[in-house]
Structure 1
Amino acid sequence: MSRLPSLPSALSARTYASTHVATAALLGLVLGWAVQHWAVPQYICRLARSGREVSGGAGAGLKNSGVVGEKRDGSSKAAEKGEDILMEDVDGDDATTDETDTDSESESEAGGTREHKMILVVRTDLGMGKGKMAAQCCHAAVAAVDTARRTQPATLRRYERYGAAKVAVKCQSEEELMELFVKARKAGLIAEYIEDAGRTQIPEGSRTVLAVGPGPIEAVNAITGHLKLL
């Protein structure tokens, strides 16, 4: 007859087996957590990154091909309608104008002299402080440059090429300011004046500063040359 194991021996074997099972289960949980929270996200990120690179390259190719397609379609439609001759005439006029501007600008560059300026006419009868005057001059200069950009871009380019010179002078009344404004406009010069909002120092609607130019120095001097510096 086989000998039955004693009770203490059986309990020890069962405890040993249970310990191994619990250890294996704990190790499995740890490995599962690591895979779920580190390895898998890293793998997904690599896949997403590579996918973006591939799709980006494909998108760029489609975009470039689309631009070329638009140009070809536009040319073919123009040819079908017989508009290509008209476009050539228009392009020829533009080219002539650009060449003229370029020639005149090149002559100015060759001389290396400043030929344009802006005058800021400030009213001194309003009693504005220095900071207020500076702010109003800034408003007038910005308004004049905006107007030049829309109406006389070639003049603005030549004006900015040599430092965008500005000179502040003074006048004694609103009547004198507006008289200068009318003269400048009649002479074909850019002229913009500022009406204050009336939040500080002076009443609302006060006409504070007039900007004459940017324009040719001789033309601007003909309007404001008699005024004294501020």
Structure 2
Amino acid sequence: MDSVLITGANRSIGLETAKQLSEKGFLVYLGSRDLAKGEEVVKDLNQKGFQNIKAIQIDVTNDESVLEAKNIVEKEQGKLDILINNAGILGDVPQDSSTTSVANIQNVFDTNFFGVIRVTQAFIELLKKSDNPRISNITSGLGSLTLHSDPTWKYYAFKAVSYVSSKTALNAFTITLAHELKDLGFKVNAIDPGYTATDFNHHSGPASVESAASFIIKHTLDEKGPTGKFYSPDIENESEESPW
């Protein structure tokens, strides 16, 4: 059974992604910063018929926590097939570029950017042992510099410096990582699940967690798809590739 680790998976899009991948036959490590909350979620899922989901404690901002999670997966599976870097935060708002504190920006970057790097580097050797390794970095359309430079873009006015900058940086990391691993059979992509109704945005988004998770899975499991791309459901073309 192929295995997948999803960070920040005890609620919202991460949780729904875990459920859908479980239904597809994957062993899912449901990453949660608070293990008790993760175990409570898994208990509920078990009662609903999901049996191949396991809670695992992982705080992406903490080296020791990430290493402990890596050691658990290595001991139990010996490898990891898919890593979905889903954990993310918005940070305090408003986030005007001229007034937002450096501490605010650093806090958001620690989860959204450095957290992804920390987890990826810890698990990379386990991923290299997979026949079809996948890394999906869950980003946002707000990370696109091209779209943010277009006054006609529907989200043009949303310029929250901490969040937007962290996702742009994440996209850059995705490009460099994909290039580094391109000859090793990896598929490494940035995936925007779209503006989804979650606790993250006070349920203001028009999309459902079900459609968001389905989009993530579609571009994670696509065996014929390329590596080093940025996908978004808001892009109306056949490839669903977003400009960087």
TM-score by length of 1: 0.22
Higher relative contact order, chain-length normalized (CA < 8 Å, sep 6+): 1
Structure 1 or 2: more helix by fraction: 1
Q: TM-score scaled to structure 2, two decimals?
A: 0.21
